[in-house]
Structure 1
Amino acid sequence: MPTEVIMPKVDMDMASGKLAVWHVAEGEAVKKGAALFDIETDKAAMEVEAPASGILRHILANPGVDVPVGSPVAYIYAEGEAIGPAPVAAPPALAEPDAAKPAAEPEAVEAAALPLAGAADEAPRATPVARRLAREGGIELAALAGTGPKGRIQRSDVEAEIERRKTPVAAPAPVPAPAPAAPAYVMDWTPQAGDLHVTTRKGNGVPLVMVHGFAADSAGWTPLERALPRDLPLIRIDLPSHGRSPLRRIAGFADLAKALVQTFDRIAEGPVHLLGHSLGGALSLALADIRPRQIKTLSLIAPAGLGPEIDGAALNGIARASTADSLAPWLKRLTARPEGISHDFAKAAMLSRLDPALRSAQQELAESLFPDGVQAFDLTAALSRVTAPTLMVWGRDDHILPWKQALAAPGEVALHLMRGVGHVPHMEDPEAVAALIGRHLRP
């Protein structure tokens, strides 16, 4: 039987993806693991690999079409395998964008090859990641020779050009004397100036300030945002060395909290609702302790700082991972069950972690905040001083921070322990978390 090629799920909240371009034409041979097509989601563009070797047949989706997750987009037949009839009809979501066009006969799907990357124009053929890296590095793709299939420019081609430009043309320097051994993660990176990156969503009423966790960024709030009231104004802050904020050297938790307070003072125009997850929960707790009159309500999702235990290996593994293969096993620690994180999800997550300097900065931060795999800061006293109404949500299957640390909360805190949920309740069950927060924010 032929191998079905489906639209993969690369985000936890992904319902469909836009097929951007095919890299293999109808009737062409393809090898397992080769780039087959590109997809675009709200967060990223990425290539999808062929699940098997063989001949590509029955392409069901044209570029530009939104395809539901799990729906077939084509089939791969083994060499010599009899070609079956084309599907009678594609699912409604796979229909051509222009409904006015007459429906094609089934045979036409088999005979006509769909557009391939670069076939419609003279633009260089390149992967989405390669295009982004080239754009950020000021590199003309036309000047590069691609090493991928059919001369396609890969990420490695652009990275090689970036490294080549960094290398000065000069006489060899004297070989320095051996230096003392350094931690394996250390590499040269330059701290950057500038304010922390802040994004907003307009709405009515008191805004909700959102602070993400370690090695995450503001995009991680997307599943929860979709479940929250649409008119709720949002303010998202990327922590130092995360997301689109500048890379900074952080001496410890107090230094990191100071950076958040400075950003809060810059953007806050009145009392706010405050929400934080994990490390962002600890920082939100510190902010509520420092600026009590500015915090109308406090919502904490699996906050750090309430006990020494933490899965330091997972945090360091995520910060250190340089490929989707090395990132995926650690991401699986975030959810209640390993199958909650697919390899395609890990590949999409890796797209925002391609910068080695960012990874090294986060590894340094992890060593500063969690030396020897423990939490080097304690917010239990601050939690007892908080005057704002406080909500705490924790997954009972949290593998990163033990849920029993929630028992450090005083009796006034509204505590909700969720069964079958891990360290990221706002991604695993966003509707339930949104309902809890929505009730908490009501006057």
Structure 2
Amino acid sequence: MPTEVIMPKVDMDMASGKIMSWHIAEGEFVAKGEPLFDIETDKAAMEIESPADGFLHHTASEGMQIPIGTPCAWLYAKGEEIGDQPKPFAGADDGKSEVIFDEPSGGRDVLEKGAVTDELPTQELSIEFYDVGKVRATPRARSLSTEEGLNIADVTGTGPRGRVQAKDIKDAIEARISKSAPSIAPAMFRPETGSLAVSRSKGGNGKPIVLIHGFASDSTSWAPLEASLRSQPLIRIDLPGHGKSPKLRIESFGDLVKEVRRVFDGLGIDSCHLVGHSLGGAVSLALADTRPKSLSSLTLISPAGLGPDINGAALHGICSANRAESLGPWLRSLVANEDIITDSYIRLAMSSRSEPNLRAAQMALADVMFPDGVQAFDLRAALNRLDVPTRIIWGKQDAIIPWKHALRAQGRVGLHLFEKIGHMPQIECGEEVALIMKSYL
């Protein structure tokens, strides 16, 4: 029997998703876990992986709005007979869901599933509206072309069926820059291999505290907090492309979590207190969702993953800055009291970011995690599944991620809000954060 490819629920409020583009052509083989298609929801565009190995057949048309839980394609094993297209969207919900077709004109036909399957011939459902007069491209490629003012119709696609991919846009941008100013062309990301860097403090008793820093930071950012936690063993993990970790190519949030989980599983500890900040907070939440028995407590500081909003301009500014003068204003946007970000601090931060490939790696990671200046992953469902003691710590003057995202947590999650504190509570009020953490140690 063929494997159904089901429209997944990637957003708590999601009722359906639009098929933006297929990465695999009809009849081609795809391996489990490889990118299969892109969907668009009300909040973001996301890449969906294949649920199994197989040959792709009977795909829903690009541009079609598919209810969650409904088949949008089928995967056949090698040698398996490819019969007629299965009954369109059979088995979804209780038969009351809608199948919506988006036409180029902007109009749409909304058909009850029963009417589609009983009154219309199957072949009428395979008409592709999406490609009429449009360039085939992935959502990431479209966002990059818009951001750079590049006409996507002028870019040659190298993906399946000529689809324009993010790499095609980046190559076109590089070519444009090289043509106009070869001497200042930015460095392109050169991926590395290897395991993520782990560092440990000396001394301390009891269960260790595992710390995962945020985007464009590194393990040294925990120093102000560590001064108040010296009684405990501390273990720090550097994210890919940060600190001493290799600059890995990360294709999705799930890919990022997989790399950190591999290191976490290899720490050789039975249980720990897990602490994550910003993007590291999102990774920590995902770890807690899959490794709950390994945690005694979870502390999330200004975590990502609880809503779509994020200050994309600040992230881009930090990634692209190649001198202290351009980095300083963005670093000061991370805190409520700009005086704590001194000129010497900025110069030190810039010296750690002087390598072009590090900046390029972080820019590539930002493009995956925060395309079009939004968070491309939603962890609210994971937050509501938590069964370990958890608290969220946030500054009410956070200019990077809105603190009100924390209000989506259930009542059993402790919430600690600080006035006149920005995105970096562990630096801005480290002693206060440590006092909260110690109540769980």
- SS at 1:289's partner residue? helix
In 2, Cα distance between equivalents of 1:288 and 1:353: 30
Measured on the aligned residues, the alpha-carbon RMSD in Å equals 1.4
Paired residue for 2:219?
218
Secondary structure of 1:376's counterpart equals: coil
Counterpart of 2:259 in structure 1 is 259
1:353 aligns with 2:345: no
Q: TM-score, normalised by structure 1?
A: 0.58
The aligned runs of 1:38-437 (5 Å cut-off) are 180-182=172-174, 187-201=187-201, 202-228=203-229, 230-437=230-437
Maintained 8 Å contact 1:207/1:232: yes
Residue 21 of structure 1 is matched in structure 2 by none
Tell whether the 8 Å contact from 1:391 to 1:440 is kept in structure 2 after alignment: no
Deviations 1:110-167 (A, max 9, x none): xxxxxxxxxxxxxxxxxxxxxxxxxxxxxxxxxxxxxxxxxxxxxxxxxxxxxxxxxx
Closer/same/farther in 2, CA of residues 291 and 342 from structure 1, 3 Å limit: same
Cα distance change on mapping 1:186 and 1:387 into 2, 3 Å:
farther
Whole-Å Cα distance in 2 between the matches of residues 268 and 274 of structure 1?
A: 15
Shift, 1:186, TM fit: 6.0
* 1:158 counterpart residue number: none
Could you say what secondary structure the match of 2:296 adopts? strand
Unaligned 5+ runs, structure 2? 1-170, 178-184
Distance (Å, rounded) in 2 between the aligned partners of 1:209 and 1:396? 25
Q: CA deviation at 1:272?
A: 0.9
Distance 1:434 1:337 in 2: 20
Is the 8 Å Cα contact of residues 212 and 220 (structure 1) preserved in structure 2? yes
* SS of residue paired to 1:181: helix
Residues 391-432 of structure 1, C-alpha deviations (whole Å, 9 max, x = no match): 110001000010100101110001000011000001001111
For the residue of structure 1 that corresponds to 2:325, the secondary structure is helix
CA distance in 1, matches of 2:410, 2:347: 41
Separation (CA, whole Å) in 2 of partners of 1:422 and 1:270: 34
Q: What is the deviation of 1:242?
A: 0.2
Match of residue 84 from structure 1: none
Residues 351/186 of structure 1: CA separation in 2 closer, same or farther (3 Å cut)? closer
**In structure 1, what is the Cα distance between the partners aligned to 2:173 and 2:389?**
50
How many angstroms apart in 1 are the aligned matches of 2:332 and 2:373?
A: 19
Is the Cα contact below 8 Å between 1:384 and 1:410 reproduced in 2? Answer: yes
| Cα distance between partner residues in 2 of 1:212 and 1:181 | 31
| Paired residue type of 1:439 | S
Shift of 1:181: 3.1
User: How far is 1:386 from its partner?
Assistant: 1.0
Q: Deviations over 1:167-192 (max 9, x none)?
A: xxxxxxxxxxxx73349786334222
Distance 1:364 1:256, change over 3 A: same
Post-superposition Cα deviations, 1:181-238, rounded to whole Å, max 9, x if no partner, equal 349786334222211100011321110000000000000000000022x220010000
The match for 2:123 is none
| Partner SS for 2:392 | strand
Identity of aligned residues (%): 51
Q: Pick which of 336-345 and 197-206 moved more.
A: 336-345
Separation in structure 1 between the aligned mates of residue 400 and residue 268 of structure 2, nearest angstrom = 31
Map Cα deviations across residues 299-323 of structure 1 (whole Å, 9 max, x no partner). Answer: 0100000000000110111111110
Distance of 1:186 and 1:289 partners within structure 2: 38
Instruction: Note if contact 1:299-1:392 (Cα within 8 Å) is conserved in structure 2.
Output: yes
Q: Partners of 2:255 and 2:357 in 1: how far apart? A: 20
Distance 2:242 2:314 in 1: 17
Q: Distance in 2 between matches of 1:281 and 1:306?
A: 10
CA distance in structure 1 between the partners assigned to 2:186 and 2:347 by the alignment: 24
2:364 match: secondary structure: helix
Bigger CA radius of gyration: 1
CA contact 2:192–2:249 (8 Å) conserved in 1: no
Q: Is the 8 A contact 1:380 1:408 kept in 2?
A: yes
3-state SS, counterpart of residue 299 of structure 1? strand
What SS does the aligned partner of 2:172 have?
A: coil
